[in-house]
Amino acid sequence: MTNLSVICSLPRDYPGITHLNFGATNHLGYSTISDAVCQWNELQSLTWQNHELTHHALFLHLAKLPNLQDISILLPELDSSSWQGHISSSHQPGFRTLRNADFGCKNISSCTSLMDLASSQCPIECMTIRISQGPDAISLRNFFQTLNTRCSQMTLTKLLIICDSRRWPAPPFADQHVIDEATFQPLLGFSNMRQITINIPRPFRLGNEILRDIATCWTQLQSLVIGSPGGWGGYSQITLTGLISLLSLSKLDVLRIVVDASSVNHTVDMPKIGVPNTKLSILHLGDSVIHNAPSVAACLSDVLLNVREIQSWGDSVARIASVSVEDAKKYQSRWEVVARLMGAAAKVREQGRDSVGNVLP
């Protein structure tokens, strides 16, 4: 009760507070904190991840603040009709100055509804979404479409969606669980994107075309993480040709993706690489299928100059991808061979450069 009394007195004693971080407040009444938040009108940043804010604090106060730039909160869980009711009651677009957002919620649909409240061209630069349930394809697509219409396409550079649960739907996967290329299309308009993380336990059915679009649209991309460590459930349609087009991004230094390297063809549709990638040292390839390790190594060694490790086929991946444990171990072993061969090729290149430097004129 003493702590609650202190919280209630803060807005009266310090009305000009601009930055709030409540930290660990498990024993404080969430409605009391929400009521206190509603009395600060100069807030520029707010952090409170222990409990959901009330809808009144979120919709009728925080959304309207003129200087709010950073927010890290849990979103209340409301049904769609309740969300729409609160949105319509606000009477004006919200979060007009928001730049950094970290939202925790149960379903990503709550974030979609919240962004519906945002003003057009909301200047968000970094957005992190932490969800406790894996989204279906429609919910994820709706969220991306809402970002496309509400957020400034020039300012958003970092988008992370992280699911706390590692629970996959039971295979075979229904269509609503499979994330396809159309889902990603609304994100391509954000031309200054530097970091994308979609870490959710769902299968992805992506092919070469979306990677070519990513390489064209996100020229500043530094980190791309698609899928959970459990892989893509055996749905990848990306070949080495598609992977190589992505590797043309010279700033890319983090990559988690899944490819189908079951066949290698060096002559058909092989994209030209300008400057080989020198920043990637580890590849995370989930449940990527591979048959001929030397051919794959030969294909990749010219464009990935510093890769020393390839991580693939972890303990739970075989079950998710409906592959036998024996085959999973074979695939993992082949990717390890690829990494060793690429490392050896890098040493040969280094020795070649040293020998040329030591040649007397």
pLDDT per position as a tens digit, 8-48: 888 999 999 999 998 766 555 668 888 899 999 999 999 99
At 79 the pLDDT is 59
How much of the chain is helix, strand and coil, in % rounded to 5? 40, 20, 40
At 247 the pLDDT is 92
Q: Which residue has the higher pLDDT, 275 or 89?
A: 275
Write out pLDDT tens, residues 180-224: 999 999 999 999 999 999 999 999 999 999 999 999 999 999 999
At 86 the pLDDT is 58
Whether a cis peptide bond, with omega within 30° of 0, leads into 172 is yes
Q: Does residue 61 contact residue 70 with C-beta atoms inside 8 Å?
A: no
User: With 0-12 CB in 10 A as exposed, 13-18 as middle and 19+ as buried, what is 170?
Assistant: exposed
At 268 the pLDDT is 44
- Which residue, among 208, 207, 189, 187, has the nearest Cα to 198 in the 3D structure? 187
At 31 the pLDDT is 81
- Which residue, among 137, 131, 142, 196, has the nearest Cα to 169 in the 3D structure? 137
DSSP code at position 59: I
43-356 in CATH: which number? Answer: 3.80.10
At residue 308, φ and ψ (nearest 5 deg) are: -120, -10
At 164 the pLDDT is 92
At 312 the pLDDT is 96
Mean pLDDT of the chain: 88
The H or E element that residue 3 is part of is helix 2-13
Q: Where does the chain show beta strands of DSSP type E?
A: 19-21, 45-52, 70-74, 100-105, 126-131, 158-163, 179-180, 195-199, 204-205, 223-226, 254-256, 260-261, 282-284, 289-290, 309-311
At 154 the pLDDT is 95
Say which range, 67-71, 242-246, 266-270, has the weakest mean pLDDT.
266-270
The residue written with tokens 């230094």 in the block is 253
Domain boundaries, the chain: 43-356
At 55 the pLDDT is 83
How much is the pTM? 0.91
From CA 104, how far away is CA 166, in angstroms rounded? 16
Q: Where does 139-222 show beta strands of DSSP type E?
A: 158-163, 179-180, 195-199, 204-205
